Amino acid sequence: MTWEREDAAVRGTRPVPADGSLEVACDESGSDGENLTGGNTDVFAHASVRLPVESAAASVQETRDRIRSPAEEYKANHLLREKHRAVLEWLLAPAGPIHGQAHVHLTEKAFFVVDRAVDLLLGGGPPEAVTLFRAGRRELGDERWRDFLASANQLLRVRNDGAPQAPADAFFHMVDALCQGRPDTAVSGILERLAAARPRADAYRVRVADGPTLIPVLNPLLPAIVATAAYWSAGGHTVRLVHDRQNMLTPDRIAWIEETARRAGARLGGLRLVEARRDPRVQLADFLAGIARKIASDELNGRGDPALTALLRPYVDPASVWGDERSWLRLGPPPRTTPAGPAVHAAG
């Protein structure tokens, strides 16, 4: 491959490919490690921006000029303040600097836990997870549903300070209790199948106890990056991702991302890590990720701002991991075409 080099000292960037591939900058918001049901946030957002470095730098500077904060580094919370509402609307608007050149993959954390548990124990696809998630709270009640989510989270997480099989014991005690007295309901069949899947859970806990796992089941960052690569390369373009530095993104996991994306048909040409403050494209992705997480969380919790939700909607990945039907009807885009081809519909 040939490369055209920019003045990295001036622009704070690495070389730019000259082979017609797309270079897309990424960042995330809402990471709580493996604590998806009891963390600080209920939504994880992974944003990506495709802009020339010079355009991105001009947009960051315009944001600073409009907000006029003395802060050395701007974050999404600067734009989310009510007094800067006009700046936020400018950034997201159809006539704004990133419209049509940015993308957000959303993960509803509680649904992600259910989806991963169903996949691990039943080998099931999204339909079973959606059925369990949407009917679970209604049929089990809020308190029992929260307990189920927490026990599923504990079952799947790698870190465990107690006995290796304690998370499995707690989870299946919970499932057995939930199965009692609930015949012929939307979730009873799935719960009974989960109750019979103890051997799979035990095998998983043994693997976890034997040593560190390469790909943590509960971390939404890795599948979100794969989905981002799939979106931008959908029409046959090779995409190269530039991502903010993350401890999670070790060389082995980057290799896993690249291989998984390629097996899924995405043309991912590589992923490299940079410091966000040295790449204005990553700074814009950071803005968008934080903004999207807040708007999506507000919508999920019934306090959405219709105007902001409407501005975010064109950016949202149809393949987002989202289970709540009411909020997805507002957040999720209608069937549409990506910059390079047909989109994939979300499970929600």
Same domain as 132, residue 45? no
Q: Which of 323, 321, 288, 326 is nearest to 304 (CA)?
A: 326
What DSSP string describes 129-195? HHHHHHHHHHHH-HHHHHHHHHHHHHHH-S--SS-TTHHHHHHHHHHHHHHTT-TTSTTHHHHHHHH
Residue 7 lies in a domain: no
CATH number at residue 283: 3.30.420.10
Question: Other CB atoms closer than 10 Å to residue 226's CB: what's the count?
Answer: 22
Same domain as 222, residue 79? yes
Name the residue range of residue 161's domain. Answer: 110-210
Same domain as 128, residue 72? no
Residue 12 lies in a domain: no
- Distance, CA of 107 to CA of 30 (rounded, Å): 10
Angle (deg, nearest 10), helices 142-156 and 126-140: 140
Q: Going edge to edge, which strands form the sheet with 239-244?
A: 102-108, 43-49, 22-29, 239-244, 268-274
Residue 35 lies in a domain: yes
Same domain as 228, residue 104? yes
The model's pLDDT over 88-115, given as tens digits with 9 standing for 90+, comes to: 999 999 999 999 999 999 999 999 999 9
Same domain as 117, residue 105? no
Residue 77 lies in a domain: yes
pLDDT in the model for residue 222: 95
- Distance, CA of 271 to CA of 307 (rounded, Å): 35
Residue 166 lies in a domain: yes
Of 156, 186, 210, the domain-final residue: 210
Residue 4 lies in a domain: no
Residue 13 lies in a domain: no
Of 210, 229, 261, the domain-final residue: 210
Cβ(304)–Cβ(76) under 8 Å? no
Cβ(6)–Cβ(15) under 8 Å? yes
Same domain as 276, residue 338? yes
Cα dist from 303 to 90, 103, 145, 236, 309, whole Å: 22, 23, 22, 39, 11
- Distance, CA of 75 to CA of 163 (rounded, Å): 41
Same domain as 39, residue 97? yes
Same domain as 22, residue 53? yes
Residue ranges in the chain whose pLDDT is less than 70: 1-19, 124-125, 161, 181-183, 212, 335-348
pLDDT in the model for residue 158: 86
Q: What total number of domains does the chain contain? A: 2
Residue 279 lies in a domain: yes
pLDDT in the model for residue 19: 63
pLDDT in the model for residue 216: 86
Of 210, 236, 263, the domain-final residue: 210
Angle formed at CA 223 by CA 31 and CA 53, multiple of 5 degrees: 75
